[in-house]
Structure 1
Protein backbone atom coordinates (compact mmCIF):
# COMPACT_ATOMS: atom_id res chain seq x y z
CA UNK A 1 0.00 0.00 0.00
CA UNK A 2 1.39 3.41 -0.94
CA UNK A 3 1.98 6.03 1.73
CA UNK A 4 -0.81 8.29 0.45
CA UNK A 5 -3.51 5.60 0.62
CA UNK A 6 -5.68 5.22 3.74
CA UNK A 7 -5.54 2.06 5.86
CA UNK A 8 -8.40 -0.45 5.82
CA UNK A 9 -9.94 1.05 8.98
CA UNK A 10 -9.54 4.59 7.61
CA UNK A 11 -11.20 3.54 4.34
CA UNK A 12 -14.10 2.03 6.29
CA UNK A 13 -14.42 5.21 8.37
CA UNK A 14 -14.50 7.30 5.19
CA UNK A 15 -17.24 5.04 3.82
CA UNK A 16 -19.35 5.61 6.97
CA UNK A 17 -18.80 9.37 6.68
CA UNK A 18 -20.03 9.39 3.11
CA UNK A 19 -23.04 7.18 3.87
CA UNK A 20 -24.07 9.39 6.80
CA UNK A 21 -24.31 12.42 4.49
CA UNK A 22 -27.44 10.82 3.06
CA UNK A 23 -30.45 12.22 4.92
CA UNK A 24 -32.08 8.77 4.63
CA UNK A 25 -29.23 7.04 6.47
CA UNK A 26 -30.53 5.02 9.43
CA UNK A 27 -28.02 2.19 9.92
CA UNK A 28 -26.89 3.41 13.35
CA UNK A 29 -26.92 -0.15 14.70
CA UNK A 30 -24.46 -1.27 12.02
CA UNK A 31 -22.34 1.83 12.60
CA UNK A 32 -22.20 1.16 16.36
CA UNK A 33 -21.23 -2.46 15.67
CA UNK A 34 -18.38 -1.28 13.44
CA UNK A 35 -17.17 1.12 16.16
CA UNK A 36 -16.99 -1.78 18.61
CA UNK A 37 -15.00 -4.05 16.26
CA UNK A 38 -11.68 -2.49 17.27
CA UNK A 39 -10.35 -0.13 19.94
CA UNK A 40 -9.06 2.31 17.32
CA UNK A 41 -12.19 2.52 15.15
CA UNK A 42 -13.91 5.36 17.05
CA UNK A 43 -10.71 7.39 17.39
CA UNK A 44 -9.94 7.12 13.65
CA UNK A 45 -13.55 7.97 12.74
CA UNK A 46 -13.55 11.07 15.00
CA UNK A 47 -10.28 12.33 13.55
CA UNK A 48 -11.37 11.82 9.95
CA UNK A 49 -14.75 13.45 10.66
CA UNK A 50 -12.93 16.49 12.02
CA UNK A 51 -10.61 16.53 9.02
CA UNK A 52 -13.56 16.16 6.65
CA UNK A 53 -15.04 19.35 8.13
CA UNK A 54 -11.77 21.17 7.43
CA UNK A 55 -11.55 19.77 3.88
CA UNK A 56 -15.12 20.87 3.12
CA UNK A 57 -13.81 24.41 2.80
CA UNK A 58 -11.31 23.41 0.07
CA UNK A 59 -12.16 23.56 -3.67
CA UNK A 60 -13.92 20.46 -4.93
CA UNK A 61 -12.12 18.24 -7.45
CA UNK A 62 -12.78 19.07 -11.10
CA UNK A 63 -14.25 15.63 -11.83
CA UNK A 64 -17.24 16.31 -9.58
CA UNK A 65 -18.58 19.01 -11.87
CA UNK A 66 -18.54 16.94 -15.05
CA UNK A 67 -19.51 13.34 -14.27
CA UNK A 68 -22.74 11.50 -13.38
CA UNK A 69 -24.00 11.17 -9.81
CA UNK A 70 -22.52 7.74 -9.09
CA UNK A 71 -19.13 8.77 -10.45
CA UNK A 72 -19.26 11.87 -8.28
CA UNK A 73 -19.66 9.70 -5.18
CA UNK A 74 -16.82 7.38 -6.24
CA UNK A 75 -14.44 10.20 -7.15
CA UNK A 76 -15.22 12.06 -3.96
CA UNK A 77 -14.61 8.87 -1.96
CA UNK A 78 -11.17 8.52 -3.62
CA UNK A 79 -10.35 12.22 -3.23
CA UNK A 80 -11.36 12.34 0.43
CA UNK A 81 -9.41 9.17 1.19
CA UNK A 82 -6.20 10.41 -0.43
CA UNK A 83 -6.54 13.90 0.98
CA UNK A 84 -7.25 12.62 4.48
CA UNK A 85 -4.31 10.24 4.44
CA UNK A 86 -1.96 12.93 3.16
CA UNK A 87 -3.19 15.64 5.53
CA UNK A 88 -3.83 13.55 8.64
CA UNK A 89 -0.54 14.43 10.31
CA UNK A 90 -0.50 18.04 9.13
CA UNK A 91 -4.04 18.94 10.23
CA UNK A 92 -5.47 16.39 12.64
CA UNK A 93 -2.09 15.49 14.14
CA UNK A 94 -1.43 19.08 15.10
CA UNK A 95 -4.79 19.67 16.76
CA UNK A 96 -4.90 16.32 18.53
CA UNK A 97 -1.27 15.93 19.58
CA UNK A 98 -0.46 19.52 20.48
CA UNK A 99 -3.57 20.57 22.35
CA UNK A 100 -5.57 17.37 22.78
CA UNK A 101 -8.67 19.37 21.81
CA UNK A 102 -10.79 18.74 18.72
CA UNK A 103 -13.08 21.60 17.71
CA UNK A 104 -16.09 20.72 15.56
CA UNK A 105 -17.91 23.65 13.99
CA UNK A 106 -20.89 23.53 11.65
CA UNK A 107 -22.17 26.16 9.24
CA UNK A 108 -25.77 27.42 9.44
CA UNK A 109 -28.05 24.77 7.96
CA UNK A 110 -25.41 22.02 8.25
CA UNK A 111 -26.07 18.91 10.36
CA UNK A 112 -23.41 16.41 11.46
CA UNK A 113 -23.15 13.31 13.64
CA UNK A 114 -20.08 12.70 15.78
CA UNK A 115 -19.39 9.21 17.14
CA UNK A 116 -17.48 8.95 20.43
CA UNK A 117 -15.14 6.18 21.52
CA UNK A 118 -17.56 4.88 24.19
CA UNK A 119 -20.35 4.33 21.66
CA UNK A 120 -22.16 7.58 22.48
CA UNK A 121 -22.97 9.95 19.65
CA UNK A 122 -23.68 13.65 19.21
CA UNK A 123 -25.98 15.05 16.54
CA UNK A 124 -24.79 18.59 15.87
CA UNK A 125 -27.14 21.23 14.48
CA UNK A 126 -26.03 24.10 12.25
CA UNK A 127 -24.23 27.16 13.58
CA UNK A 128 -22.76 25.10 16.41
CA UNK A 129 -19.31 24.77 17.98
CA UNK A 130 -18.36 21.89 20.28
CA UNK A 131 -15.03 20.84 21.77
CA UNK A 132 -13.86 17.29 22.50
CA UNK A 133 -10.91 16.55 24.78
CA UNK A 134 -8.97 13.33 24.13
CA UNK A 135 -7.88 13.31 27.78
CA UNK A 136 -11.55 13.39 28.88
CA UNK A 137 -13.44 11.03 26.56
CA UNK A 138 -16.67 11.43 28.60
CA UNK A 139 -16.64 15.24 28.50
CA UNK A 140 -17.93 17.66 25.84
CA UNK A 141 -18.01 21.44 25.84
CA UNK A 142 -20.83 23.12 23.89
CA UNK A 143 -19.50 26.58 23.12
CA UNK A 144 -22.52 27.70 21.12
CA UNK A 145 -25.43 26.35 19.11
CA UNK A 146 -27.38 23.13 19.54
CA UNK A 147 -26.67 19.42 19.87
CA UNK A 148 -28.58 16.23 20.66
CA UNK A 149 -26.66 13.79 22.87
CA UNK A 150 -27.20 10.02 22.88
CA UNK A 151 -25.17 8.72 25.80
CA UNK A 152 -24.11 5.18 26.67
CA UNK A 153 -24.38 4.56 30.42
CA UNK A 154 -21.26 3.56 32.35
CA UNK A 155 -21.57 2.84 36.04
CA UNK A 156 -19.31 5.18 38.01
CA UNK A 157 -18.26 7.10 34.89
CA UNK A 158 -20.86 9.81 34.16
CA UNK A 159 -20.95 11.74 30.92
CA UNK A 160 -20.61 15.52 31.32
CA UNK A 161 -21.56 18.43 29.07
CA UNK A 162 -20.37 21.94 29.87
CA UNK A 163 -22.24 24.89 28.35
CA UNK A 164 -21.50 28.40 29.54
CA UNK A 165 -21.63 28.42 33.34
CA UNK A 166 -23.65 25.23 33.51
CA UNK A 167 -22.58 21.61 33.83
CA UNK A 168 -24.88 18.75 32.87
CA UNK A 169 -24.22 15.26 34.23
CA UNK A 170 -25.88 12.52 32.22
CA UNK A 171 -26.75 9.11 33.64
CA UNK A 172 -27.18 7.36 30.28
CA UNK A 173 -29.89 8.97 28.21
CA UNK A 174 -30.80 11.24 25.30
CA UNK A 175 -31.12 14.99 25.67
CA UNK A 176 -31.00 18.18 23.62
CA UNK A 177 -28.99 21.27 24.59
CA UNK A 178 -29.13 24.80 23.13
CA UNK A 179 -26.47 27.30 24.13
CA UNK A 180 -27.69 30.78 23.17
CA UNK A 181 -25.78 34.03 23.61
CA UNK A 182 -26.78 34.46 27.26
CA UNK A 183 -29.05 31.51 28.05
CA UNK A 184 -29.24 27.74 28.10
CA UNK A 185 -32.07 25.33 27.20
CA UNK A 186 -31.99 21.63 28.05
CA UNK A 187 -34.64 19.02 27.21
CA UNK A 188 -34.49 15.34 28.20
CA UNK A 189 -36.18 12.71 26.05
CA UNK A 190 -34.84 9.60 27.81
CA UNK A 191 -33.28 8.81 31.18
CA UNK A 192 -31.99 11.37 33.68
CA UNK A 193 -29.82 14.50 33.57
CA UNK A 194 -28.50 16.44 36.56
CA UNK A 195 -28.23 20.21 36.12
CA UNK A 196 -25.30 21.76 38.03
CA UNK A 197 -25.04 18.95 40.62
CA UNK A 198 -22.59 21.00 42.72
CA UNK A 199 -24.97 23.98 42.93
CA UNK A 200 -28.69 23.81 42.12
CA UNK A 201 -28.57 20.01 41.63
CA UNK A 202 -31.81 19.88 39.63
CA UNK A 203 -32.92 16.44 38.39
CA UNK A 204 -34.41 16.38 34.92
CA UNK A 205 -36.27 13.20 34.04
CA UNK A 206 -37.54 12.32 30.58
CA UNK A 207 -40.20 14.76 29.45
CA UNK A 208 -38.74 17.71 31.34
CA UNK A 209 -36.46 20.58 30.42
CA UNK A 210 -34.87 23.66 31.91
CA UNK A 211 -34.37 27.28 30.87
CA UNK A 212 -31.48 29.08 32.56
CA UNK A 213 -30.11 32.60 32.09
CA UNK A 214 -26.52 33.77 32.54
CA UNK A 215 -27.97 36.76 34.36
CA UNK A 216 -28.77 34.50 37.29
CA UNK A 217 -31.99 33.61 39.07
CA UNK A 218 -33.56 30.22 39.62
CA UNK A 219 -33.69 28.13 36.41
CA UNK A 220 -37.19 27.37 35.15
CA UNK A 221 -38.14 23.70 34.93
CA UNK A 222 -40.94 22.82 32.55
CA UNK A 223 -42.67 19.80 31.06
CA UNK A 224 -41.93 19.06 27.39
CA UNK A 225 -43.48 16.58 24.97
CA UNK A 226 -40.73 14.02 24.38
CA UNK A 227 -41.58 13.60 20.69
CA UNK A 228 -40.71 17.26 20.08
CA UNK A 229 -37.25 17.08 21.68
CA UNK A 230 -34.55 17.25 19.03
CA UNK A 231 -37.19 17.40 16.30
CA UNK A 232 -34.84 19.65 14.27
CA UNK A 233 -33.09 16.42 13.23
CA UNK A 234 -36.21 15.47 11.24
CA UNK A 235 -36.79 18.90 9.74
CA UNK A 236 -39.41 20.06 12.22
CA UNK A 237 -39.36 22.76 14.88
CA UNK A 238 -42.07 22.61 17.57
CA UNK A 239 -42.83 25.48 19.96
CA UNK A 240 -45.13 26.20 22.87
CA UNK A 241 -44.60 29.84 23.79
CA UNK A 242 -41.04 30.53 22.61
CA UNK A 243 -40.36 34.10 21.55
CA UNK A 244 -40.26 35.08 17.88
CA UNK A 245 -36.63 36.06 18.44
CA UNK A 246 -35.80 32.52 19.58
CA UNK A 247 -37.73 30.95 16.70
CA UNK A 248 -35.83 33.14 14.23
CA UNK A 249 -32.52 32.16 15.80
CA UNK A 250 -33.44 28.49 15.56
CA UNK A 251 -34.40 28.83 11.89
CA UNK A 252 -31.09 30.48 11.19
CA UNK A 253 -29.21 27.64 12.85
CA UNK A 254 -31.29 24.74 11.52
CA UNK A 255 -32.26 25.95 8.04
CA UNK A 256 -29.65 28.61 7.30
CA UNK A 257 -32.30 31.34 7.03
CA UNK A 258 -31.17 34.92 7.54
CA UNK A 259 -33.87 36.58 9.62
CA UNK A 260 -33.89 39.96 11.35
CA UNK A 261 -36.58 40.73 13.94
CA UNK A 262 -37.99 44.18 14.71
CA UNK A 263 -38.18 45.04 18.43
CA UNK A 264 -41.98 45.18 18.42
CA UNK A 265 -42.31 41.45 17.56
CA UNK A 266 -39.15 39.97 19.14
CA UNK A 267 -40.82 39.03 22.44
CA UNK A 268 -44.14 37.80 21.01
CA UNK A 269 -44.86 34.17 21.99
CA UNK A 270 -45.09 31.58 19.25
CA UNK A 271 -46.94 28.27 19.33
CA UNK A 272 -46.98 25.80 16.50
CA UNK A 273 -44.84 23.54 14.32
CA UNK A 274 -42.68 24.63 11.40
CA UNK A 275 -41.55 22.24 8.67
CA UNK A 276 -38.03 23.07 7.51
CA UNK A 277 -37.53 22.58 3.77
CA UNK A 278 -35.46 23.85 0.86
CA UNK A 279 -38.32 26.23 0.05
CA UNK A 280 -37.22 29.02 2.39
CA UNK A 281 -40.02 31.38 1.38
CA UNK A 282 -42.59 28.76 2.36
CA UNK A 283 -40.98 28.40 5.81
CA UNK A 284 -41.21 32.18 6.27
CA UNK A 285 -44.83 32.19 5.05
CA UNK A 286 -45.75 29.45 7.55
CA UNK A 287 -44.08 31.35 10.38
CA UNK A 288 -45.80 34.65 9.64
CA UNK A 289 -49.21 33.02 9.12
CA UNK A 290 -49.06 31.18 12.44
CA UNK A 291 -47.62 34.15 14.35
CA UNK A 292 -49.85 36.81 12.79
CA UNK A 293 -46.91 38.99 11.73
CA UNK A 294 -45.40 40.15 8.44
CA UNK A 295 -42.13 39.43 6.66
CA UNK A 296 -40.37 41.93 4.44
CA UNK A 297 -37.97 40.44 1.86
CA UNK A 298 -34.60 42.14 1.96
CA UNK A 299 -31.43 41.89 -0.11
CA UNK A 300 -30.28 39.09 2.18
CA UNK A 301 -32.99 37.32 4.13
CA UNK A 302 -36.17 38.68 5.73
CA UNK A 303 -37.24 41.24 8.33
CA UNK A 304 -40.11 40.23 10.63
CA UNK A 305 -42.43 43.09 11.62
CA UNK A 306 -45.98 43.80 12.78
Structure 2
Protein backbone atom coordinates (compact mmCIF):
# COMPACT_ATOMS: atom_id res chain seq x y z
CA UNK A 1 0.00 0.00 0.00
CA UNK A 2 1.51 3.40 -0.94
CA UNK A 3 2.59 5.58 1.94
CA UNK A 4 0.36 8.63 2.51
CA UNK A 5 1.53 12.03 3.65
CA UNK A 6 0.86 13.05 7.23
CA UNK A 7 -2.05 15.40 7.69
CA UNK A 8 0.18 17.94 9.45
CA UNK A 9 2.57 17.99 6.48
CA UNK A 10 -0.29 18.55 4.04
CA UNK A 11 -1.69 21.33 6.23
CA UNK A 12 1.68 23.10 6.18
CA UNK A 13 1.97 22.70 2.41
CA UNK A 14 -1.58 23.97 1.93
CA UNK A 15 -0.84 27.05 4.08
CA UNK A 16 2.23 27.77 1.95
CA UNK A 17 0.16 27.54 -1.23
CA UNK A 18 -2.58 29.77 0.20
CA UNK A 19 0.00 32.47 0.97
CA UNK A 20 1.73 32.10 -2.38
CA UNK A 21 -1.47 32.27 -4.42
CA UNK A 22 -2.66 35.25 -2.36
CA UNK A 23 0.51 37.14 -3.20
CA UNK A 24 0.50 39.81 -5.90
CA UNK A 25 3.84 38.43 -7.16
CA UNK A 26 2.55 34.90 -7.75
CA UNK A 27 3.66 33.81 -11.24
CA UNK A 28 1.79 31.68 -13.82
CA UNK A 29 4.44 28.99 -13.29
CA UNK A 30 3.69 28.90 -9.58
CA UNK A 31 -0.03 28.64 -10.23
CA UNK A 32 0.59 25.73 -12.59
CA UNK A 33 2.79 24.08 -9.94
CA UNK A 34 -0.06 24.50 -7.45
CA UNK A 35 -2.54 22.79 -9.80
CA UNK A 36 -0.10 19.89 -10.21
CA UNK A 37 0.33 19.64 -6.41
CA UNK A 38 -3.43 19.70 -5.90
CA UNK A 39 -4.03 16.98 -8.49
CA UNK A 40 -1.84 14.48 -6.62
CA UNK A 41 -4.49 13.32 -4.19
CA UNK A 42 -7.93 13.77 -2.68
CA UNK A 43 -6.41 14.42 0.78
CA UNK A 44 -4.57 17.45 -0.60
CA UNK A 45 -7.76 18.76 -2.21
CA UNK A 46 -9.80 18.25 0.95
CA UNK A 47 -7.28 19.89 3.29
CA UNK A 48 -6.64 22.77 0.89
CA UNK A 49 -10.39 23.48 0.54
CA UNK A 50 -10.83 23.44 4.31
CA UNK A 51 -7.94 25.83 4.99
CA UNK A 52 -8.75 28.12 2.05
CA UNK A 53 -12.30 28.43 3.36
CA UNK A 54 -10.98 29.32 6.84
CA UNK A 55 -8.59 31.84 5.28
CA UNK A 56 -11.48 33.58 3.51
CA UNK A 57 -13.51 33.65 6.72
CA UNK A 58 -10.61 35.34 8.50
CA UNK A 59 -10.39 38.26 6.07
CA UNK A 60 -11.69 40.64 8.70
CA UNK A 61 -8.75 39.79 11.00
CA UNK A 62 -5.97 40.22 8.46
CA UNK A 63 -5.51 43.93 8.99
CA UNK A 64 -6.18 43.75 12.71
CA UNK A 65 -3.91 44.12 15.67
CA UNK A 66 -3.88 41.58 18.47
CA UNK A 67 -1.21 40.38 20.95
CA UNK A 68 -0.07 37.24 19.12
CA UNK A 69 0.38 39.17 15.89
CA UNK A 70 2.31 41.99 17.59
CA UNK A 71 4.63 39.49 19.26
CA UNK A 72 5.23 37.63 16.01
CA UNK A 73 6.12 40.85 14.20
CA UNK A 74 8.32 42.25 16.98
CA UNK A 75 11.44 40.33 16.01
CA UNK A 76 14.14 42.09 13.96
CA UNK A 77 14.18 40.71 10.44
CA UNK A 78 16.25 41.87 7.40
CA UNK A 79 14.17 44.14 5.16
CA UNK A 80 14.32 41.86 2.12
CA UNK A 81 12.78 39.07 4.20
CA UNK A 82 10.24 41.25 6.03
CA UNK A 83 7.39 40.83 3.56
CA UNK A 84 7.68 37.04 3.54
CA UNK A 85 8.11 36.90 7.30
CA UNK A 86 5.04 39.10 7.77
CA UNK A 87 2.98 36.74 5.63
CA UNK A 88 4.13 33.68 7.57
CA UNK A 89 3.60 35.41 10.91
CA UNK A 90 0.10 36.35 9.87
CA UNK A 91 -0.62 32.81 8.77
CA UNK A 92 0.72 31.47 12.06
CA UNK A 93 -1.40 33.93 14.02
CA UNK A 94 -4.58 33.25 12.12
CA UNK A 95 -4.43 29.57 11.27
CA UNK A 96 -2.40 28.36 14.26
CA UNK A 97 -2.70 31.07 16.93
CA UNK A 98 -6.48 31.21 16.60
CA UNK A 99 -6.45 27.46 16.09
CA UNK A 100 -7.46 25.26 13.21
CA UNK A 101 -10.04 23.77 15.55
CA UNK A 102 -11.75 27.14 15.95
CA UNK A 103 -13.75 26.48 12.80
CA UNK A 104 -14.34 22.78 13.41
CA UNK A 105 -17.72 21.44 14.53
CA UNK A 106 -16.38 21.39 18.10
CA UNK A 107 -14.77 24.85 17.98
CA UNK A 108 -16.15 28.01 19.56
CA UNK A 109 -17.02 29.54 16.16
CA UNK A 110 -18.06 26.29 14.59
CA UNK A 111 -18.72 25.35 11.00
CA UNK A 112 -21.28 26.88 8.64
CA UNK A 113 -22.69 25.15 5.58
CA UNK A 114 -25.31 25.92 2.97
CA UNK A 115 -27.28 23.21 1.17
CA UNK A 116 -29.96 23.36 -1.49
CA UNK A 117 -31.67 21.08 -3.96
CA UNK A 118 -33.29 21.78 -7.32
CA UNK A 119 -36.85 20.88 -8.25
CA UNK A 120 -37.09 17.13 -8.27
CA UNK A 121 -33.78 16.80 -6.44
CA UNK A 122 -32.91 15.15 -3.16
CA UNK A 123 -29.86 15.26 -0.94
CA UNK A 124 -28.60 13.56 2.23
CA UNK A 125 -26.33 15.41 4.67
CA UNK A 126 -24.55 13.29 7.27
CA UNK A 127 -23.18 15.08 10.34
CA UNK A 128 -20.13 13.98 12.27
CA UNK A 129 -22.23 13.21 15.37
CA UNK A 130 -24.35 10.67 13.50
CA UNK A 131 -27.30 12.98 12.80
CA UNK A 132 -28.71 12.88 9.25
CA UNK A 133 -30.60 15.46 7.20
CA UNK A 134 -32.70 14.44 4.18
CA UNK A 135 -33.50 17.38 1.87
CA UNK A 136 -36.54 17.17 -0.40
CA UNK A 137 -36.88 18.90 -3.79
CA UNK A 138 -36.54 22.69 -4.10
CA UNK A 139 -35.24 22.94 -0.55
CA UNK A 140 -32.71 25.35 0.93
CA UNK A 141 -31.20 25.34 4.40
CA UNK A 142 -28.28 26.75 6.36
CA UNK A 143 -26.46 24.68 8.96
CA UNK A 144 -24.21 25.83 11.78
CA UNK A 145 -22.56 23.43 14.21
CA UNK A 146 -20.29 24.47 17.08
CA UNK A 147 -19.36 23.18 20.51
CA UNK A 148 -22.60 24.34 22.13
CA UNK A 149 -25.31 24.07 19.50
CA UNK A 150 -26.43 22.47 16.24
CA UNK A 151 -28.66 24.90 14.39
CA UNK A 152 -30.51 24.64 11.07
CA UNK A 153 -32.33 27.45 9.26
CA UNK A 154 -34.86 25.94 6.85
CA UNK A 155 -35.26 28.73 4.30
CA UNK A 156 -37.71 26.86 2.07
CA UNK A 157 -38.87 23.40 1.16
CA UNK A 158 -38.86 20.32 3.36
CA UNK A 159 -36.33 18.26 5.31
CA UNK A 160 -36.40 15.16 7.47
CA UNK A 161 -34.13 15.11 10.53
CA UNK A 162 -32.76 12.02 12.28
CA UNK A 163 -31.03 13.53 15.30
CA UNK A 164 -28.41 12.02 17.59
CA UNK A 165 -29.62 13.48 20.88
CA UNK A 166 -27.08 15.40 22.98
CA UNK A 167 -28.33 17.67 25.80
CA UNK A 168 -24.95 19.43 25.87
CA UNK A 169 -25.25 20.30 22.18
CA UNK A 170 -28.96 20.96 21.45
CA UNK A 171 -30.31 20.55 17.92
CA UNK A 172 -32.78 23.17 16.68
CA UNK A 173 -34.49 24.01 13.40
CA UNK A 174 -35.58 27.58 12.68
CA UNK A 175 -38.45 27.68 10.18
CA UNK A 176 -40.76 30.58 9.46
CA UNK A 177 -41.57 32.40 12.67
CA UNK A 178 -40.71 29.52 15.01
CA UNK A 179 -38.08 27.12 16.27
CA UNK A 180 -38.27 23.35 16.62
CA UNK A 181 -36.05 21.96 19.39
CA UNK A 182 -35.09 18.28 19.35
CA UNK A 183 -35.73 16.14 22.40
CA UNK A 184 -34.24 13.02 20.79
CA UNK A 185 -36.22 12.19 17.71
CA UNK A 186 -36.93 11.83 14.01
CA UNK A 187 -39.08 14.59 12.58
CA UNK A 188 -40.07 16.32 9.36
CA UNK A 189 -40.36 20.10 8.82
CA UNK A 190 -42.03 21.64 5.78
CA UNK A 191 -42.24 25.32 4.81
CA UNK A 192 -44.97 26.03 2.25
CA UNK A 193 -46.92 29.21 1.49
CA UNK A 194 -45.61 30.85 4.68
CA UNK A 195 -46.99 27.95 6.72
CA UNK A 196 -44.86 25.48 8.65
CA UNK A 197 -45.80 21.87 9.42
CA UNK A 198 -43.88 19.71 11.89
CA UNK A 199 -44.41 15.94 11.95
CA UNK A 200 -42.79 13.72 14.59
CA UNK A 201 -42.09 10.13 13.59
CA UNK A 202 -40.20 9.08 16.72
CA UNK A 203 -39.39 10.77 20.03
CA UNK A 204 -40.52 14.33 20.71
CA UNK A 205 -39.82 17.96 19.82
CA UNK A 206 -40.65 21.29 21.37
CA UNK A 207 -42.12 23.88 19.00
CA UNK A 208 -41.51 27.47 20.10
CA UNK A 209 -43.17 30.44 18.45
CA UNK A 210 -45.71 32.77 20.11
CA UNK A 211 -46.15 30.00 22.62
CA UNK A 212 -44.52 26.65 23.26
CA UNK A 213 -45.85 23.15 22.64
CA UNK A 214 -44.33 19.72 22.87
CA UNK A 215 -45.41 17.11 20.34
CA UNK A 216 -44.65 13.41 20.42
CA UNK A 217 -44.41 10.50 17.99
CA UNK A 218 -47.22 10.28 15.40
CA UNK A 219 -48.30 13.87 15.98
CA UNK A 220 -48.35 16.86 13.61
CA UNK A 221 -48.41 20.56 14.49
CA UNK A 222 -48.47 23.61 12.24
CA UNK A 223 -48.06 27.34 12.69
CA UNK A 224 -48.58 30.36 10.46
CA UNK A 225 -46.40 33.36 9.64
CA UNK A 226 -47.65 35.19 12.76
CA UNK A 227 -46.65 32.29 14.99
CA UNK A 228 -50.18 31.04 15.66
CA UNK A 229 -50.44 27.29 16.19
CA UNK A 230 -52.65 25.29 13.84
CA UNK A 231 -53.70 21.69 14.32
CA UNK A 232 -53.10 19.70 11.15
CA UNK A 233 -55.32 16.95 9.76
CA UNK A 234 -52.30 15.31 8.10
CA UNK A 235 -50.50 12.35 9.63
CA UNK A 236 -46.71 11.95 9.92
CA UNK A 237 -46.97 9.05 7.46
CA UNK A 238 -48.56 11.32 4.85
CA UNK A 239 -46.15 14.19 5.40
CA UNK A 240 -43.10 11.93 5.15
CA UNK A 241 -44.38 9.96 2.14
CA UNK A 242 -41.89 11.85 -0.05
CA UNK A 243 -39.14 9.76 1.55
CA UNK A 244 -40.83 6.74 -0.06
CA UNK A 245 -41.27 8.44 -3.45
CA UNK A 246 -44.90 9.39 -2.93
CA UNK A 247 -47.09 12.39 -2.23
CA UNK A 248 -50.25 11.70 -0.21
CA UNK A 249 -53.07 14.24 -0.01
CA UNK A 250 -56.25 14.00 2.03
CA UNK A 251 -58.81 16.71 1.34
CA UNK A 252 -56.10 19.26 0.46
CA UNK A 253 -56.69 22.52 -1.41
CA UNK A 254 -55.83 22.35 -5.10
CA UNK A 255 -53.42 25.29 -4.94
CA UNK A 256 -51.49 23.59 -2.11
CA UNK A 257 -51.31 20.38 -4.12
CA UNK A 258 -49.98 22.19 -7.20
CA UNK A 259 -47.40 24.01 -5.09
CA UNK A 260 -46.26 20.70 -3.66
CA UNK A 261 -46.02 19.06 -7.10
CA UNK A 262 -43.93 21.97 -8.38
CA UNK A 263 -41.19 21.18 -5.83
CA UNK A 264 -40.56 17.90 -7.59
CA UNK A 265 -40.90 18.91 -11.25
CA UNK A 266 -39.50 21.62 -13.49
CA UNK A 267 -43.00 22.60 -14.64
CA UNK A 268 -44.93 25.71 -13.70
CA UNK A 269 -48.46 24.79 -12.58
CA UNK A 270 -51.00 27.64 -12.56
CA UNK A 271 -54.74 28.15 -12.21
CA UNK A 272 -56.64 30.12 -14.85
CA UNK A 273 -59.38 30.90 -12.34
CA UNK A 274 -58.36 31.71 -8.72
CA UNK A 275 -61.64 30.26 -7.47
CA UNK A 276 -60.34 26.79 -8.44
CA UNK A 277 -57.81 27.01 -5.61
CA UNK A 278 -60.39 25.92 -3.02
CA UNK A 279 -61.21 22.64 -4.75
CA UNK A 280 -60.15 19.67 -2.63
CA UNK A 281 -57.82 16.87 -3.72
CA UNK A 282 -57.35 13.40 -2.24
CA UNK A 283 -55.06 10.71 -3.58
CA UNK A 284 -51.62 9.12 -3.62
CA UNK A 285 -49.30 10.35 -6.38
CA UNK A 286 -45.93 9.03 -7.49
CA UNK A 287 -43.38 11.83 -7.20
CA UNK A 288 -41.77 11.05 -10.55
CA UNK A 289 -45.01 10.95 -12.55
CA UNK A 290 -46.39 14.49 -12.98
CA UNK A 291 -48.65 13.55 -15.90
CA UNK A 292 -50.19 10.79 -13.84
CA UNK A 293 -50.90 13.20 -10.98
CA UNK A 294 -52.48 15.75 -13.33
CA UNK A 295 -54.61 13.03 -14.94
CA UNK A 296 -55.98 12.04 -11.53
CA UNK A 297 -56.79 15.68 -10.80
CA UNK A 298 -58.62 16.01 -14.15
CA UNK A 299 -60.63 12.84 -13.49
CA UNK A 300 -61.71 13.88 -9.98
CA UNK A 301 -62.19 17.65 -10.36
CA UNK A 302 -64.03 19.85 -12.90
CA UNK A 303 -60.82 21.01 -14.59
CA UNK A 304 -58.88 20.48 -17.80
CA UNK A 305 -55.15 20.82 -18.47
CA UNK A 306 -53.73 23.13 -21.14
CA UNK A 307 -50.07 23.32 -22.17
CA UNK A 308 -49.48 26.93 -23.32
CA UNK A 309 -45.70 26.46 -23.54
CA UNK A 310 -42.99 23.94 -22.68
CA UNK A 311 -42.57 23.68 -18.94
CA UNK A 312 -46.03 25.13 -18.23
CA UNK A 313 -49.38 23.58 -17.37
CA UNK A 314 -52.55 25.64 -16.97
CA UNK A 315 -55.59 24.30 -15.15
CA UNK A 316 -58.86 25.71 -16.49
CA UNK A 317 -62.42 25.13 -15.36
CA UNK A 318 -64.24 22.43 -17.34
Is TM more than 0.5 here? yes
Residues 239 and 280 (structure 1), Cα distance of their counterparts in 2 relative to 1, 3 Å cut: closer
Aligned 8 A contact 1:113 1:124 in 2: yes
Aligned to 2:38: 4
Aligned to 2:207: 195
Shift of residue 293 of structure 1? 2.7
Q: How far apart, CA to CA, are the structure 2 residues paired with 1:238 and 1:215?
A: 27
| Mapped pair 1:117 → 2:151 | no
| Mapped pair 1:235 → 2:245 | yes
| CA-to-aligned-CA distance 1:227-247 (integer Å, 9 cap, x gap) | 323111221001122211111
Q: Which has the larger radius of gyration?
A: 2
Q: TM-score, with normalisation over the residues of structure 2?
A: 0.63
Q: How far apart, CA to CA, are the structure 1 residues paired with 2:118 and 2:40?
A: 27
Aligned 8 A contact 1:244 1:267 in 2: yes
Residues 4 and 175 (structure 1), Cα distance of their counterparts in 2 relative to 1, 3 Å cut: same
Aligned to 1:38: none
| Mapped pair 1:145 → 2:179 | no
Q: Which of 182-191 and 226-235 deviates more?
A: 226-235
| Mapped pair 1:254 → 2:264 | yes
The residue matched to 1:282 in structure 2 has which SS?
helix
Q: How far apart, CA to CA, are the structure 2 residues paired with 1:181 and 1:97?
A: 38
Question: Number of paired residues?
Answer: 230
Q: How far apart, CA to CA, are the structure 2 residues paired with 1:295 and 1:121?
A: 39
Structure with more contact order per residue of length (Cα contacts < 8 Å, sep ≥ 6): 1
RMSD: 3.0
Aligned to 2:90: none
| CA-to-aligned-CA distance 1:17-42 (integer Å, 9 cap, x gap) | xxxxxxxxxxxxxxxxxxxxxxxxxx
Q: TM-score, with normalisation over the residues of structure 1?
A: 0.66
Q: How far apart, CA to CA, are the structure 2 residues paired with 1:138 and 1:256?
A: 32
Shift of residue 119 of structure 1? 0.7
| CA-to-aligned-CA distance 1:233-277 (integer Å, 9 cap, x gap) | 221001122211111111111233321124121122222211122
Shift of residue 195 of structure 1? 0.8
